Amino acid sequence: MARRPLPRILSKDSAQLARTQIARSRELARTAADSATDVLHPLITVTRGLRLLASAALRRWTDTPKDRRGPLLFLVASVILAVTLVPYGPMLAVIALMAAAGWQGRDRTPPPPEGPDESQTDRLQSLYEALVPYFSSPEDPAPLYAHGGEWEKAFPAHEFDDAGRVGHLVIRYPAYFPDGEHEARVRIEQLLTAKSGRGREYRFAWDEEGNQLTVTVLPPLPADIPAQHFVTAPGETVLGFTDPSEVQRTLPLSYGEEHIDVPPVVWRTGVRSTEPHLLALGHPGAGVSTLLRSIALQALQYGDVLVVDGGGTGEYACLTGRDGVLAVECAPSGALASLEWAAQETERRLIAINLARQAGDPPPADARRALWILVDRPSVFTHLAEAGGRRDPQDLLQVPLRHGRAANVTVVVAEQSDAADALADAVRQHTRARVVLGAVTSRQVETALGAAPHTVPLGHVPPGRGYARLGSGPVHRLQVPRTPDPYDDATSDADRQAVLALLPPRTTAVEAATPQPANLTKSPVPAKAAVAESS
């Protein structure tokens, strides 16, 4: 399959990406200048010395009275003549001149003082004193941490940024500190975050065997990468972007006339996936709907999408009637009918695949095509179903969740964090790929993802910012691509055009009737027909 070129949809007014590009350009220019300076350092030194010697000779000539300039000139000419007549004289003269120029042009600036300056020393001493109550014990005969003690033994390595704040720090702590307890670690991490400077995100690497804690300041993730065609294989979905040290893969993104490489968090689905279904949690405004729109735009390249929106805010109206979009349901009856069809479609695919295998044939094409079921806020439908005495739509997700991987059916469930308890047991058990977005605490991240993050979450984060964990893998920082609702008035023109360019063409009018249920692989059963048949 030919690779489609990346569309140039990134705007040049993207502040964060522009700052990143400028910083990289400055770093490259600084590295090239340092390399050139190291190579040309002898020539620069000799040139500086010749300039100083010439300036000194000119001053000497200017300070000499006019009646003495003639004898001085005769003396210089005599010395030059004598040097010329001596064997190897010119060569020795040139060597002596270069040596004198090198000595005169040497760098005379005093070397920078070793170790931190006074303000940095005060910061390190403050950190040391703050850690004394946590890393000291009255029974310790030779305490590493004590009030008024020396911080040099406790902090073997440290670096500071241009603002004078800690950028990298290695902390030694006594062996009796309970570094295996989560609460003890959190107390130390919160203390270091407060003392080192809030508003930044720190990565904490605990070395339990060596009794060392490495604190590193992480750069902010770019929050203005818009949606675009990502260079991925079928079955791969880009959830967002993370730190370069966390993944071994980068994606090329177009930025004006240039291209940048960003490390992605890639979620793999399909029959060989170990995490075939996804659960996304977040507070209102955290960017959960943005994540679902981004997933839908990527899924439509290789499969069909069914959207069930419990929020009823019209966040997915741009998908209605598009090629590959089976339905966008917001009403309880339509959601119930669509999920019933999804369960029946999963069973039909399983039967078709089983019959094909028994006959020794490949699975049919309609069973190989990916089917995506995107459910936003199912707890709303659960509440309405209980009030109306109807079946809970979440019960209908059990079949796609349990058997979706074999049938090439993927389920993505999004819910608000405060309503996570209303999720069905099947949803929690079978969604091993997890995403949590918004300003959350370490405890909330651990509850949602099953593991604590290596950083202390910030109190204020941009939309689409959070953490992701795929199965039993590590917890990654995550920034979702900017995929706003193109029909929202608050969306900028650049973002609106970027999303609209990714949408498939509209094949049916919005007011058109849904196709008949005989074509199960292309459209769900209409709500009224499904209710009539089930009754």
Annotated binding residues: 282-289
Distance in Å from the first CA to the final CA of the chain: 47
212-229 exposure pattern, b = at least 16 Cβ within 10 A, e = fewer = bbebbbeebbbbbbbbbb
Q: Which residues contact 306 (CB under 8 A, 6 or more apart)?
A: 325, 326, 327, 338, 342, 371, 372, 373, 374, 524
Quick one: CA torsion of 395, 398, 399, 401, rounded to 10 degrees?
Answer: 140
Q: Count the Cβ atoms, other than its own, within 10 Å of residue 309.
A: 26
| Contact call for residues 491 and 290 (beta carbons, < 8 A) | no
Give the annotated binding-site residues for ATP: 282-289
DSSP state letters, 41-97 = HHHHHHHHHHHHHHHHHHHHHHHS-HHHHHHHHHHHHHHHHHHHHSTTHHHHHHHHH
| Contact call for residues 270 and 370 (beta carbons, < 8 A) | yes
Tally the C-alpha atoms within 13 A of residue 101's C-alpha that lie toward its C-beta: 20
Give one word for 256, left, alpha or beta, with left for phi > 0 and alpha for psi -120 to 50: left
Q: Which residue has the tokens 């010749």?
A: 50
Label the pairing between strands 212-218 and 201-207. antiparallel
What is the rounded CA–CA span in Å between residue 274 and residue 269?
A: 8
What is the rounded CA–CA span in Å between residue 410 and residue 270?
A: 8
Across the beta sheet with 476-479, the strand order is: 264-268, 236-241, 476-479, 465-470, 433-437, 278-282, 409-416, 370-376, 303-309, 325-329
Q: Which two tokens stand for residue 349?
A: 């695919």
Q: Which of 288, 243, 223 has its CA nearest to residue 461? A: 223
- DSSP helix/strand/coil, 14: coil
What is the rounded CA–CA span in Å between residue 196 and residue 218?
A: 13
The secondary structure of residue 395, as a DSSP letter, is G
| Contact call for residues 252 and 261 (beta carbons, < 8 A) | yes
What is the rounded CA–CA span in Å between residue 305 and residue 322?
A: 10
